[in-house]
Structure 1
């Protein structure tokens, strides 16, 4: 028996170490508890059965915060309790509804947090996630498949990303944009979207690529961000692809370095061998993934320019670790600078988030139309494009005038070209149904 009392046992200043706050993050495969400490302190974790429990002992530590605010509903934790032991140690007990696998580690202070103790409780059996679409690349009755687009909302959980003057957190804004993009893509013929992060939890950078590649078998990886810079005047959306060598600008290098630090802020310790990364980059170059990532970036950047100021009018390149995948066309979209007060205000609104998502969708659609993958709807559409006339949009054209000229319903023009709004761009080529 543990002989623990319920409650907190709030200590006093005699003790050197204290728990000053506790946070909780729920991920699909584990629940994370983060203990904020005033100083680093040794700890020990072990499991008990009948009933299932995880026990954490912190040496010479007191609890200086309350645990009642933690919402551990929808987890396998039924109760958390703590007590000070006679030897001066603090014991925290997690009562469980089933056996979980604990993992713990300490983190040193960084720009956002002080000393931390992280306790991850992993599910033995991952939750089954129901999806509306079978993600496997199975052909439909029409003998073509959808392209699969992995949408990655940056940061999450312990890592808030950039924080604006009004308190906006990058992790929240980019998740909202990612969800908007997913909703729009679900309506798009020929595309199956999947969200890599669909909640407030952190995924390490390598895990994001792994999920896209191995779980979803994705054809494309789009990472959504909204960063910050020390100069509040910095503004505008940007698109980045992985660089074979150095960054294309100082800002690109700065943003890549910040993004690559996410694992440290988010509570993940990673080691990456230079030789492995060198081989990956060689493979990327050989397979043409970098080149096609650049093509995709150009189309998305062009569409973003219609709804947002652009920080740079070219696709930039830098060493973003989350993009280092040899199997997928991959890019990172910076939707704006949350450090810019005007852009922060825009990024907080659902209307602007939807405009950004629609621009990313339009660029993605244009890429797949120009470079269709074999066996996909876009390849089928290109193969049968002889059944369509082509019209290059000129200044003054509208969908109605084009439809009248070719004697086709506006509805058919919208369906064939997958147009949702009345906005059309000069120079874009429309397919006109014949017969």
Structure 2
């Protein structure tokens, strides 16, 4: 027994020695170092270093789902629809959608690198939107009858909402216009063709911002003129090619109490229309000025704020929030908007002004409400109404929303909006077009930010 035990132990020792000798002859390999993702706190929460780089990146976005009801605009106060040849009274309001759905996905990517010139930043925001019903262009009236444009299923659109580089005070690319201040911060819906103040969130620009300390800054920018054009066919200003971008200047202050801004813009009205002698009509230059203030109200509740803003424009209606020719009543051309009107051999600029107020209040940390209102007035000077086609207009809007956040970065809310269009009737205004029209809208929104 002792002999067997000795043989087994000896064999095991022999095998161990041989194995050790063979292992010593094998090449030694060293595991590659692991490059772990590191938090980058220098640029704020949510940033992390790109592995193998000194650039910090933050990825975010949102998903939004909405349902909207919009009262069809179909009241004719100044004459029956049948008063106009070829119109069918039975079609009043029935060719427009009253409800609709929207789904939107948004991706934000923010990359920043520290340098001796300061932070080098690249940012882009991409959106995909699927719309149906009232979110699509609505049915319009033509000389041949109603054209159904909005009630044909759903459409999916893509949008490069932001794509800019910031370096040493410069901003270049697609960004929010520097003229804008309130920029629809609290409202969801708007009246057709009118938003409460300028909000050109995806304009191409080149700007330089100088900072002076204590929150004061000044910006000079050149921005895409063609994205600011408001015009219509016929007697309206017919824009030619862009010869001069819009020039925007801004003075701004951001401090603990809130922020304030004074903005100005110059807008070229460069027309390709010829005069009666076959020559070119001279260019005109429109302009706009705006002042706004946002006041933090922590004495009421954390997060409360009050926004006040006013703007005046002469030949530059986009800076008032006028986005085009809204469909009011049953006619696409009921309330055409244009920066200027061709009158004989001159361009007559359109004037207008806008005021707004918006209030945000937190009832609890998870329940808040908004209340906002705006007034916009458009003035076409004297005889340039061109046979009643263009008319002075006043647009009133007021709305309120109640929003519940059951978890962080998750909103469930409802907004109700009332809008009224009021136009000045001229002797040449066609029979059957109303002098005023009002509308109710309602929205339900689910939104998750990440």
TM-score by length of 2: 0.28
Q: Which has the higher strand share?
A: 2
- Larger % of helix: which? 1
Q: Computing the radius of gyration over CA atoms, which structure comes out larger, 1 or 2? A: 2
